[in-house]
């Protein structure tokens, strides 16, 4: 079994705190936005961390491993 933590933007995030992960990069159009092009990983308590594409994919893989993998890969297709 893998670790219960994943690393996102130099932060060790417990997998059990993750509520959802964006499929598309953030775009709001604000000139001062520091998250443009990054993927939101929403946590409990109204918190988020922001990942690049590679980090997002690693978190998704870690969650699948932690949860025991998909029972039926066609289920969500």
pLDDT tens figures, 1-56: 568 999 999 999 999 999 999 999 999 999 999 999 999 999 999 999 999 999 99
Residue 72, pLDDT > 70, answer no
Write out the two tokens for 39: 């993927």
Torsion of the alpha carbons at 48, 51, 56 and 62, rounded to the nearest 10: -70
Query: Which pLDDT score is estimated for 16?
Result: 95
Query: Which pLDDT score is estimated for 71?
Result: 58
Residue 70, pLDDT > 90, answer no
Residue 59 per-residue DSSP state: H
Query: Which pLDDT score is estimated for 69?
Result: 72
């Amino acid at each position: 079994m893998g670790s219960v933590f994943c690393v996102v933007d130099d932060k060790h995030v417990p997998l059990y705190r993750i509520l959802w992960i964006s499929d598309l990069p953030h775009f709001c159009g604000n000139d001062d936005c520091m998250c443009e092009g990054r993927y939101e990983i929403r946590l409990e308590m109204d918190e988020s961390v922001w990942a690049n594409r590679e980090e997002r994919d690693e978190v998704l893989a870690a969650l699948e491993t932690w949860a025991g993998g998909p029972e039926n890969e066609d289920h969500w297709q």
